[in-house]
Structure 1
Amino acid sequence: MAGSTDVASEHAPDGYEDEDGHEHEHRSRWPLVAAVGAATLYLGAGLFFVGGDLVPSVLPTVLAPVGAVGLVVGLAGWANEAFVADYRQSRGGESALYSTTMVLFLASDVATFSAGFVYYAFVRVGAWPPDHLPPLLGSLVLVNTALLVASSVTLHYGHEALEAGNRQRYLGLLGVTLLLGVVFLVGQTVEYYELVVEDSFTFSSGILGSAFYGLTGLHGLHVALGVLLIGIAFGRSLRGHYTPDRDTAIRTTSLYWHFVDAVWIVLVLVLYVGSTV
C-alpha cells in the first residue's frame, strides 16, 4: 500500500491531501501568466492610443499581440487546470484555494475596469453632449440587462440545487444560465450593428467612441469567457462530474459570473444612463 500511495502522490497535482493525511501545497502558474499577458496587452493598447510620437510605433504593435497570446494561454491553462482536469476528491483545501485565486483575478479586473471608467470621466469633463451622440439607452439595453441579472439568479439557485443534491434542477438552471449568456452576446452584437451601420457611431467616433467600445467590448469579452466556462461546466455536469462535495468549478465560475453582472450594471448606469444627463 505504501508503494501505491507514493505513486499516487508523485502523479497527483499540487494542492491535495494524500492517504496519510499529509497536505501538499497547491501552486499554479496560470493566473500569473494570464495577469502578465493582460498587463502587456493593456500596455500595448494604451501606447497605441496615447503614445503618439513619444514611443516607437513598433512597440505597441509588438506588445499587444504578445500580451493577447499570453492572456489566452494563461486563461486556457487555468481553465484546463481548474475546470476540465479530473481531481481527486481527497485533495485538501481545493475549494478555498481556487476560490481565493479567482478573487485575486477579479481584483485585478476591478483595476482594469476602473482605469476605463477614469478615462470616461475625463471624456465627460469636456463639452457635453458631443456633436455626434446617438441614443445609447434603449429597449435592447434594458432587455440585455434583465437577461444578465436573471442569469445571475439562475446560476445562484442552480448552485444551491447542486449543493442540495437536486441534480435535475441544477442541470436545468445551469442550462438556462448558459442560454441567457449566449442571448446577451447576441443582443450586444445587434446593438453594435445598429450603432455602427445605422448611426455611424464607431470606435473612431472621437474619444467617446473609443471609451464606449473599449468598456463595453472589454465587458463583452468577459461575458464570452464566462459563457465558455459555464458551457464547460454544463458539459461536465451532464457526465456527472459534480456532486455536493465536489463543486469547486461551479463555485469559482459563479464568483466570476456575478462579478461580470455587477460590472454590467455599473456600465449601464455610467455609460447608458449617464449619456442622457
Structure 2
Amino acid sequence: MGRDGDDSEFRFLEDADPDATSDAAESSAFEFGDGVESEDEGQDSEGESGDHGPEGHSDHGHHPVVEDWPRGVGEASWWPVVTALGAAAIYVSAALFLLGRGRNSVVGPGAGPAAFVGAVALTLFGVYGWLYHGFLAHFWTRGTDRRSARSFRWAMLAFIASEIATFGALFAYYFYIRAGTWPPANSTLPVIDLLNILVVTNTAVLVLSSVTVHFAHHALASGNRDRFQRLLAITIGLGGLFLAGQLVEYHEFINQEGFDWTSGLFGSAFFGLTGLHGLHVAFGTLLLGITYVRGRQGQFDGERDLSVALVSLYWHFVDAVWIFLVAALYAGASIY
C-alpha cells in the first residue's frame, strides 16, 4: 500500500538520509500527528500549503485520507465504522447465546459462540485498519502538529466516556439489586470471601502496572529508549499476570464453589462486570504489545509519543475501573 517511489512502508530515522528525511517531513501534508511541534512551525506549514489541500480539496484543517480504505470517500475513513460494527456484533452474539439456551431456544446453541468469534474478528480487523492508517503509515515522513494531537486526545477521552457509560449501566444494575434484600432471593454467594488474597494481589499488580507505564512514558520523553522498552515490557507482563489471576479466580468460583453467571442476580452482575473489565485489560495489553513492537522497530521519540500517551491513558482508565469495582463489588457484596 506504499506510494510510488517509497522504499518501505515505514521510514526510520537511522536508515534515512537526514537531509532527505527533513525535506520530506517539511513538505508532507499534515495527516495524523504522532507528536507535537511548535505552534509557529504548524502555522508556517499551513501557510505554505495554501487554501487548498491535495487534489484540490478545500483545506479546513484536514486533508483527504491517504491510501485509506475505501478510496474516494474524501476526508472520511470507514475503519471506525467497521470497528463499531464489530463491537456491536459482540452484544448481538451475547443475545444469540442467551436465545440459544433452554428448552424453548430460538436459535441453535452454536449461533452465539459463532457470532462472537466473527464479531471479535471484525472488531480486531477494524482496529488494525484504524491504527495502521492513523498511526503507522508513513510514520517518519509525515509532519506533526498540535491540532491533530489534540484531536486524537479528545477522541480518546470521548471513547473513554463511552466506556464509562457502558460500565455505568452494569454498575447501576448491581447497585439496584444491592439496595434491596441482600443476598438477593434465588442468588448464591460464594462460600469463600470475595475480597480474598488473590483479589488483593491482582489489585496490587494492576496498580503497579499503571506506575510502570507512567514511568515508561516519562523515560521516552526524557530520551531514554532502553528504559522505556524495559518498563513497557514489565507493564505487559503485569497485565498478563492480572489476567491469569482472574482466570484462577473464575476457576475457583465455577469449579469449586459452583458460583457462575447463572447463580442468580448477583452472579450475573459479578461475572458481567468482572468479565467486561477483563476484556478491557486484554485489549489494553494488546495495545501495549503493539506499542512495544513499534518501539523495538525504532518508532517513538520525545516528540513523537502520542500513541504512547493514548495507550497509557487507556491503561490508567482500566486501572481506575478495577479499583472502583473492587470497592463496590468485592468489598460491597461482602457487607451484609
TM-score by length of 2: 0.69
Q: Aligned in 2, Cα 1:161/1:272: closer, same or farther, shift over 3 Å?
A: same
Q: Aligned in 2, Cα 1:234/1:15: closer, same or farther, shift over 3 Å?
A: closer
1:104 lines up with 2:158 in the alignment: yes
Q: Aligned in 2, Cα 1:133/1:77: closer, same or farther, shift over 3 Å?
A: same
1:113 lines up with 2:167 in the alignment: yes
Where do 1:118-129 residues align within 5 Å? 118-129=172-183
In the other structure, the counterpart of 2:221 is 163
- The Cα of 1:45 is off from its aligned counterpart by 3.8
Deviates more, 1:165-174 or 1:226-235: 165-174
Q: Give me the whole-angstrom Cα distance separating, in 1, the residues matched to 2:250 and 2:280.
A: 17
Q: Give me the whole-angstrom Cα distance separating, in 2, the residues matched to 1:85 and 1:139.
A: 45
Q: Give me the whole-angstrom Cα distance separating, in 2, the residues matched to 1:40 and 1:239.
A: 34
Corresponding residue SS for 1:241: coil
Task: Decide which structure has greater helix share.
Answer: 1
For the 8 Å contact 2:32–2:135, the answer to whether it is kept is no
Q: Please provide the CA RMSD for this pair.
A: 3.3
1:132 lines up with 2:188 in the alignment: yes
The residue type equivalent to 1:132 in the other structure is T
Q: Give me the whole-angstrom Cα distance separating, in 2, the residues matched to 1:142 and 1:82.
A: 38
For the 8 Å contact 2:86–2:123, the answer to whether it is kept is yes
The residue type equivalent to 2:154 in the other structure is T
Q: Identity over aligned residues, as a percent?
A: 45
1:75 lines up with 2:127 in the alignment: yes
For the 8 Å contact 2:31–2:143, the answer to whether it is kept is no
For the 8 Å contact 1:137–1:272, the answer to whether it is kept is yes
The residue type equivalent to 2:143 in the other structure is S
Q: 1:90 aligns with which of 140, 143, 149?
A: 143
Q: Aligned in 2, Cα 1:274/1:14: closer, same or farther, shift over 3 Å?
A: same
Larger Rg: 2
TM-score by length of 1: 0.82
- Provide structure 2 residue ranges, at least 5 long, that are not aligned to the other structure: 6-23, 34-41, 54-60, 66-75
Corresponding residue SS for 1:242: coil
In the other structure, the counterpart of 2:245 is 187
For the 8 Å contact 1:15–1:24, the answer to whether it is kept is no
1:178 lines up with 2:257 in the alignment: no
1:30 lines up with 2:82 in the alignment: no
Where do 1:232-251 residues align within 5 Å? 232-251=290-309
In the other structure, the counterpart of 1:264 is 322
- The Cα of 1:40 is off from its aligned counterpart by 4.9
For the 8 Å contact 2:188–2:266, the answer to whether it is kept is no
